[in-house]
Structure 1
Amino acid sequence: MDVQALQTFVAVADTGQFQAAAADLGISQQAASKRIATLERHLGVTLLVRTPRGSNLSLDGQVFLPHAKKALTAFEQAEESVRPGSRPLRVDVLNRRIAPAQAVYRFYLGRPGTGLDAVTLRDENAGRAARRVLEGTVDATFRALPPGELPSGITAERLLDVPLQLLVGPSHPLADANGVSPADLAGHRIWIPGIRPGTEWAAFYDAFAEAFGLSIDALGPNFGDEALMDALADSSSLATLVGSEDRYLWPQGHDLRRIPLHDPTPVYPHMLLFRSGDRHPVLTALREHLHTSAPGAPGDVWVPERFDRP
């Protein structure tokens, strides 16, 4: 059913005049008459009866009017619900402990009450996550997706380069270092449980290991972050990699050490993927926030060649 015809019918019913209703709607009287005629043909009844003094509702028109008004109200509510800014922005942060989640959290803290919903699509690789954005499951996602692999309709902005750090227990040979080069990690066992083949982070760590001759594995069951922290605290040889902005907690007695990597500094290139042309005001504000507040990476950085574009 034509919404404009319903609007015209209600306007004529309220004013009692085709001319007055047409003026209120910003259309010609002829256009108003055509809309009503089309609506009446669709329903198979006469809704308005013309008189020398204007137009009156027929019996069918009297019955139809309250339903027409309810239908218009429902349409207006439906339209309002999807106008940019009318619903919370839904952002996939991948993992609530890592840098994208922390960045979005800081954004929210600076704007209390902002309509925002942070979710985690942890079982999706970058390509599938991008399709989720296109489908409308989420409005945006933080991923590392090479520019040549972006689906049509998706815009990607590299807004969050996160330097990697080595995380070790107190008895590890590098525990007291102020910083180490990636090349210095050769021969050390780096364990990152939970890496899944086919994901962008698996591709990142494969490239990193190949570039610097490292051994990075995900062998064994993944019992979660707490189990990993326990294993690091008890080992003199085990190490893992974390982002400088990642938020991991462990008991004080573990005495784990975060050691910066430099010469060069490997960075993980988190990109914000969103639908091209999306006008949601919270998305615009988040992008501006990340542009101005994201921690700057050092000048001498390493990123896999496939990701190394702004």
Structure 2
Amino acid sequence: MDLDSVRTFVVAADAGRFQDAAAELAVTQQAVSKRIAALERALGVRLFTRTPRGAELTIDGQAFLPHARELLRVSERAVASVRAGRRPLRVDVLSSRSAQSGLLRGFHQANPEIDLDVVTLFEIDAAVHAIRSGAIDASFRAVTMPGRPLPDDIASVRVVDEPLDLFTGSGHALANARSVTLDQLVGHRIWMPGLAAGTEWAAYYEDLVAEFGLTIEATGPNFGTDALLDTIADTPALATFMGGLTRLVWPTGYGLRRIPVTDPKPVYPHSLLWHRDNPHPALAALRAHLAAASPGYGAPGTWVPRWALSTRP
């Protein structure tokens, strides 16, 4: 059903005269008559009766009028739902506890008038596909893994380097250290279940192991952060890495130690990815907020894989 004809019908019904409807719609009276006639043919009924005083609705016209008004309201809502700035900005983060989620919370606190939809996707390939298809507007990721460059239509900018902390239980040999160097971690078992092959974080830790000779074990199922910390607290032989900006809560009885790693300080590089042609105004606002509010990256004395150094503005 042609919405221009429906709109013309509603205006003519309210005006009571085709001539007045034409003036309101800024078209000719002949165009109004043609649109009404086309709508009557589509519906198979007469909508108006011509009288000396103008045009009066038939019984069928009266029955159709409230539905015609609702059609126009639905059409307006449909257009508004996808109009730039009217729908929520959809952003992907790795988890609700991550540094990425913290960055997004800071953006929301600074811009409460901007609606956000927060989603969590697992792999960077899924995130890139979702950006290119329009399913999401942006994603926080570490880029780019060796041999897997971003498509040309995807832009990225590095927004923050998150330092890694060592987590141990109270019985671990390093539990009382104020800080530990990467050299001091050689020979210690660092347990990180869930390092799925092919993911950006697996690539990161593979390079960390190769460069500093660490022992990272990814055995066993990943039951989540709470279960991991529970095991670390009870097992003196194991430690694990956690992002320094990751929000964590654990029972006081666990006796966990959160120890900075230094010389050099390994940092996880977070970048924001988006489609170059995405017009959502809140995306520009997010990028501006991150540029102004994030602590930045590339500080002296830090380490990241060489493949993570590039950005694609």
TM-score by length of 2: 0.83
Matched, 1:94 2:56: no
Does the 8 A contact of 1:189 with 1:215 survive in 2? Answer: yes
**Change in 2 beyond 3 A, CA 1:304/1:232:** same
Does the 8 A contact of 1:100 with 1:160 survive in 2? Answer: no
- Tell me how far 1:9 sits from its aligned partner: 1.6
- Tell me how far 1:275 sits from its aligned partner: 4.2
- Tell me how far 1:258 sits from its aligned partner: 2.6
Number of residue pairs aligned between Structure 1 and Structure 2: 308
Matched, 1:144 2:142: yes
Structure 1 partner of 2:55: 55
Structure 2 partner of 1:38: 38
Structure 2 partner of 1:103: 103
Does the 8 A contact of 1:85 with 1:281 survive in 2? Answer: yes
Amino acid at match of 2:94: L
Amino acid at match of 2:125: G
Sequence identity percentage: 50
Does the 8 A contact of 1:144 with 1:269 survive in 2? Answer: yes
SS in structure 1 at match of 2:167: strand
SS in structure 1 at match of 2:262: coil
**Change in 2 beyond 3 A, CA 1:16/1:229:** same
- Tell me how far 1:26 sits from its aligned partner: 3.6
- Give, in whole Å, the separation in 2 of the partners of 1:17 and 1:33: 11
5+ residue gaps, structure 1, are none
CA-based RMSD of the aligned residues comes to 3.0
- Give, in whole Å, the separation in 2 of the partners of 1:44 and 1:233: 76
Task: Kindly provide the CA deviation profile for residues 225-266 of structure 1, in whole angstroms up to 9, marking residues without a partner as x.
Answer: 233223323444422111110112223343333333334332
- Tell me how far 1:217 sits from its aligned partner: 2.0
Amino acid at match of 1:232: I
Task: Kindly provide the CA deviation profile for residues 177-205 of structure 1, in whole angstroms up to 9, marking residues without a partner as x.
Answer: 44444344332221111221222211221
- Tell me how far 1:173 sits from its aligned partner: 3.8
Bigger mean CA deviation after superposition, 49-58 or 11-20: 49-58
Amino acid at match of 2:192: I
Amino acid at match of 1:89: L
Structure 2 partner of 1:293: 293
5+ residue gaps, structure 2, are none
- Tell me how far 1:125 sits from its aligned partner: 0.9
Structure 2 partner of 1:70: 70
Structure 2 partner of 1:119: 119
Amino acid at match of 2:124: A
SS in structure 2 at match of 1:5: helix
Does the 8 A contact of 1:127 with 1:145 survive in 2? Answer: no
Structure 2 partner of 1:256: 256
Amino acid at match of 2:38: T
